[in-house]
């Protein structure tokens, strides 16, 4: 327990990195996933094929392999300085590449969740939109997607919870998030292994509980709006 108290600043910074990874990756994957879901339900065959190919590729590829490819390939494309800052927080190139790898991977699952929501919307809604002169893009953006997002809040919440836990995978690539800090402290303070494991695990539990609470709140709010 003494280790948790003494090394609390390091543990706190590790969880800061985890939360930033979660926020950035969650936002980017949601945007990419929404675009891919639009491709998947598009009347244009080439767009459907593109969306299907992306989903099948990333959904069936292990996350470790996706991250390894991102970290080894992206710098070779000339993107050697992808670090950035937000306020007093500095993010390295490895953080950015890991974030992009998580985003590309998670987007495939977000896409399928949103597509299932689009398919749950009554066909009459799209027909009514077309009857007032809306094109496919307009009806999808203004009529179908808002209803689809309402329907898929529970599965999206589960995806973001999985993403929160998947951030621990980037520890093997040297990104100093919570799992990386846990491994480092475990090697330094072998007598406090259980306290370190339990302390870090409780941190992840808190993150998951916050995501679940936000998902439940949104589900209730949007259900009232419906």
| Burial classification of residue 141, based on how many CB atoms lie within 10 Å of its CB (0-12 exposed, 13-18 middle, 19 or more buried) | middle
CB of 43 closer than 8 Å to CB of 210: no
Give me the pLDDT at residue 147, please: 84
Residues 6+ apart with CB under 8 A from 226: 150
More confident call, 139 vs 205: 205
Residue 225 pLDDT greater than 50, yes or no:
no
Please state, rounded to an integer, the average pLDDT across all residues of the chain: 86
Q: Which of 30-34, 46-50, 57-61, 174-178 has the lowest mean pLDDT?
A: 174-178
Q: CA dihedral in degrees (171, 177, 181, 182; nearest 10)?
A: -70
- Locus of tokens 């998951």: 208
Residue 89 pLDDT greater than 60, yes or no:
yes
Q: Where are the beta strands (DSSP E) in the chain?
A: 84-86, 89-91
CA distances from 116 to 112, 147, 184 (A): 6, 11, 41
- Locus of tokens 């339900």: 41
Residues 6+ apart with CB under 8 A from 171: 177, 179, 180, 183
CB of 148 closer than 8 Å to CB of 117: yes
Please state the domain count of the chain: 1
Q: What percent of the chain has pLDDT over 70?
A: 91
Write the pLDDT tens digit of every residue in 51-67.
999 999 999 999 999 99
Report the SS3 class of residue 151.
helix
Residue 226 pLDDT greater than 50, yes or no:
no
Domain range for 201: 2-225
Give me the pLDDT at residue 217, please: 92
Q: Which of 80-84, 178-182, 221-225 has the lowest mean pLDDT?
A: 221-225
Angstrom distance (rounded) from CA 110 to CA 36:
9
The structure's pTM equals 0.89
Say which CATH number the domain at 112 has.
1.10.3720.10
């Amino acid at each position: 327990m003494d280790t948790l108290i003494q090394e609390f600043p390091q543990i706190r910074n590790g969880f800061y990195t985890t939360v930033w990874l979660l926020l950035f990756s969650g936002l980017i994957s949601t945007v990419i996933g929404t675009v891919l879901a639009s491709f998947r339900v598009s009347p244009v065959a080439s767009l459907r094929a593109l969306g299907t190919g992306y989903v099948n590729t990333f959904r069936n590829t292990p996350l470790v392999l996706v991250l390894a490819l991102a970290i080894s390939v992206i710098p070779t494309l000339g993107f050697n300085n992808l670090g950035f800052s937000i306020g007093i927080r500095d993010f390295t190139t490895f953080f950015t590449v890991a974030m992009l790898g998580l985003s590309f991977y998670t987007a495939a699952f977000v896409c399928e969740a949103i597509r299932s929501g689009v398919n749950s919307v009554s066909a009459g809604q799209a027909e009514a939109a077309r009857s007032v002169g809306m094109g496919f893009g307009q009806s999808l953006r203004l009529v179908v997607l808002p209803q689809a997002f309402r329907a898929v809040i529970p599965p999206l919440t589960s995806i973001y919870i999985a993403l929160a836990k998947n951030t621990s995978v980037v520890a093997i690539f040297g990104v100093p998030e919570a799992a990386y800090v846990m491994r480092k402290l475990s090697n330094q303070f072998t007598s406090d292994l259980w306290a370190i494991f339990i302390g870090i695990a409780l941190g992840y539990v808190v993150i998951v509980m916050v995501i679940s609470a936000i998902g439940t709140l949104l589900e209730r709010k949007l259900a009232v709006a419906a």
